[in-house]
Structure 1
Amino acid sequence: MKIQTKQFGEVEFTEENILRFEDGLYGFEELKKFLLLKHDDDIFYWLTSVEQPEIVFPLFGIRMIDDKYPQTEDGEAFGIVKLDRDPLKSTINLRAPVYINQESKTGYQTILNDESYPVEYQLFTE
């Protein structure tokens, strides 16, 4: 199978590469199949919809920011990043993590009830 992406051009993949999100992501509940793509020299992962390849979510591993961040046995915690032309204005959503399990090829998004985790946390500092 193949999809055309903005970040990676044409991407060839198999059924085994697809991550399944049973409930989709908030605001995109109809999208259930994604690929987790990354350039070797990039700090971001790109969660790319198989059904609509133009829908892409930049992700960053939350444990890189906060090693005490809540983890589950269900997978690694990622935050959705809001990129800005000025990198110092880019933010990450720590309140609604995306958990991805590479072994089971599943993922889900949840909202934490802990308000100490902001929706817009500044990703980079000077």
Structure 2
Amino acid sequence: MRIDTKAYGFLEVDVRQKIEFPQGLYGFEGLSDYVLLDARQSPFYWLQSLNVKETAFVLIDPLIVRPDYNADIDPQDYEALKLTGPEDDRFLQFVVVTIPADGRGMTVNLQGPLIINKDIQEGRQCISRDNEWHVQHNIIEEMKANENRAC
């Protein structure tokens, strides 16, 4: 499948990279079709809208930022995706990264993780029921704090 991306221009991607978000993402409810791409800068990913080229999100696995992360989402969210929970082999989880114009102070939204069933290629943005998680967690500060927790 050939797509036009915000970050890389035209690319050939495998149809298995397509993810449908039937309810869209918060603030982008009208956009439901995306592809999940590896970013050229590991450990990041791109979630590129197939509807609007200019709409793309940088994602990361939240466990890279916070190894103790547990979103504690409503069980109905798992059921809607035909998942048994985070231990399900079909489960993928990402969080949205915000990168300021100056590139400093990158944050992640740990309150609204993206949950995906990779077998049915469907996802949804969920809301964490844990008050510890907010929409802006500084990536560098969180990773440094985790180093200190490990000692």
Q: TM-score range by the shorter chain?
A: 0.7 to 0.9
What TM-score does the superposition give when structure 2 sets the normalisation length? 0.73
Tell me how large the CA RMSD over aligned residues is: 2.1
Structure 1 range deviating more: 69-78 or 98-107: 69-78
Deviation sequence 1:40-75 (CA, Å, 0-9, x none): 543210000011121001001001122332262362
* C-alpha deviation, 1:100, in angstroms: 2.0
Percent identity of equivalent pairs: 31
- d(CA) in 2 for partners of 1:116, 1:41: 28
* C-alpha deviation, 1:87, in angstroms: 4.2
1:95 is aligned to 111
Matching residue within 99, 102, 109 for 2:125: 109
1:47 is aligned to 47
Question: How many residues end up aligned between the 2 structures?
Answer: 126
* C-alpha deviation, 1:85, in angstroms: 4.1
- d(CA) in 2 for partners of 1:69, 1:76: 14
1:59 is aligned to 59
Which is helix-richer, 1 or 2?
2
Give the number of the structure whose alpha-carbon radius of gyration is greater: 2
Which is strand-richer, 1 or 2?
1
Q: Return 5+ residue gaps in structure 2 as ranges.
A: 71-84, 145-151
Instruction: Please tell me the residue identity of whatever aligns with 1:10.
Output: F
1:34 is aligned to 34
SS at match of 1:80: strand
